[in-house]
Amino acid sequence: MEKSPDWQKKVQEMFSVCSEELKKTTAIGKKMLSASKANTNLHEAYEELGALAVEAMKSGELKWENERVNKILKTIESCQTDLNSIEEEVNEIRFKQESQD
């Protein structure tokens, strides 16, 4: 039986296509990792800016009369109060159970 060079050519083409697709996928993956890092940095920068703005408004260093900003500040204060209350309750539960052991 004679060996056909056609199947070798097809296998080489398949490897070539797979290799190119792998290169594209790797390049896209690298870009996605870079985008994720940039997005994380952006989120952290906004968070820090927001915290600084809140502190500056509380101290009177920054005045920002805006209805939406005032709503956000009230939400922040409410969440901080809720978190403090939850922390106190958790500590009560934790220390009450420890003293009973």
- pLDDT of 58-97, one tens digit each? 999 999 999 999 999 999 999 999 999 999 999 999 888 7
The amino acid that residue 10 corresponds to is K
Residue 2's pLDDT band, with cuts at 50, 70 and 90, is low
Domain span at 4 = 1-63
Alpha helices, H only, the chain? 5-59, 67-100
Contacts of 57 (CB under 8 A, 6+ apart): 63, 64, 69, 73
Q: Which two tokens stand for residue 96?
A: 């009450």
Percent over 70 (pLDDT), the chain? 91
Specify whether 19 is located in the same domain as 39.
Answer: yes
User: Mean pLDDT for the chain?
Assistant: 92
Backbone angles phi, psi at 90, to 5 degrees: -65, -45
74 shares a domain with 40: no
Distance, in Å, from the CA atom of 29 to the CA atom of 45, rounded to the nearest integer, reads 24
Is 50:72 a contact under the CB 8 Å cutoff? no
Same domain, 69 and 58: no
How far out from the chain centre does Cα 24 lie? 25
One domain, residues 72 and 58: no
